[in-house]
Amino acid sequence: MLLLVLMLALGYAVYRWVPAAHEPVRHIDIRVPGTHVTPAEVRAAIGPLARAPFFAVDLHGIERRVRALPWVYRVSVRRLWPDTVRVEVTEQRAVAQWGEDALLNPHGELFRPPRKSFPAGLPRIDGSLARKQALIEAFLDMDRMVQAGSGGHHAARLVEDRRGAWRLWLDNGLEIALGRREQQRRLQRVMRVYRRILAGREAEVRHLDARYSNGLAIAWQGGGNNDAQGDR
């Protein structure tokens, strides 16, 4: 008797399952927490791929199309019985701008969304792509130094020119020339002077030159200079 019941149950399951497995997907469940990727954009990228029968849906194809959207970082695509495909998107998070046309995520990876979608107020790094990782790490270290030494200001921009010389700007507009070597040690020296001399007087300073073995030069807005001579 028990065997008969099991066989009937199995037969019923097959009866219900086989037709359903060949039915087209009826629902696309799109989950997009974030601000730069919309469900409509994801749905348009998927196109006709999700209209196949349930077990014939090309999950990898959907993932590739959605991942190609400029603000998408990660995609998860799976079937939900009996007629749904769920697409979950993790959005890119920009922590800095790289040059004119790219952004950096927290993992040090570049991505290139439309320029008009760049978030306002991001710090910016300019330099050789081959030096990207070193510049990112240096920028983060320098930002911590600036916060500790200036009472809460941040590093806003780091530029490495073709000669390998660095210039750093703070979020209050202060420009600091750091030269081609020992840039972090030189910035530490700047921050010591900042606490003693510059705090509260940033608007009076045109720029700082820290490219000396010992000391630095302060160019004031009125045209005066406090120079510290040494080898650059």
Rounded mean pLDDT of 29-57?
93
Domain positions in the chain: 2-91, 96-226
Q: In the chain, what is the straight-line distance between the N-terminal and C-terminal CA atoms, in Å?
A: 95
Evaluate whether 221 touches 206 at the Cβ level (below 8 Å): yes
Strand order in the sheet with 84-91: 27-31, 84-91, 72-80
Residue 231: pLDDT band (50, 70, 90) is very low
Place of tokens 């070193």: 134
Task: Give me 82's structure tokens.
Answer: 């009996």
Note the Cα 59 to chain centre separation in Å: 26
* CATH number 3.40.50.11690 given to 96-226: yes
Q: How far apart are CA 11 and CA 18, in angstroms?
A: 11
| pTM listed for this prediction | 0.79
Rounded mean pLDDT of 168-174?
94
Strand order in the sheet with 217-220: 110-111, 102-104, 96-98, 124-126, 155-160, 166-170, 175-179, 205-209, 217-220, 225-226
Instruction: Summarize pLDDT for 7-21 with one digit per residue, the tens.
Output: 544 444 443 545 455
In terms of C-beta density within 10 A (0-12 exposed, 13-18 middle, 19 or more buried), how is residue 70 classed? middle
| CATH code for the part of the protein at 2-91 | 3.10.20.310
CA dihedral sign of residues 187, 189, 194, 195: positive
DSSP state of 187: H
Residue 175: pLDDT band (50, 70, 90) is very high
For residue 53, how many other CB atoms are within 10 A of its CB? 13
Instruction: Summarize pLDDT for 177-197 with one digit per residue, the tens.
Output: 999 999 999 999 999 989 888
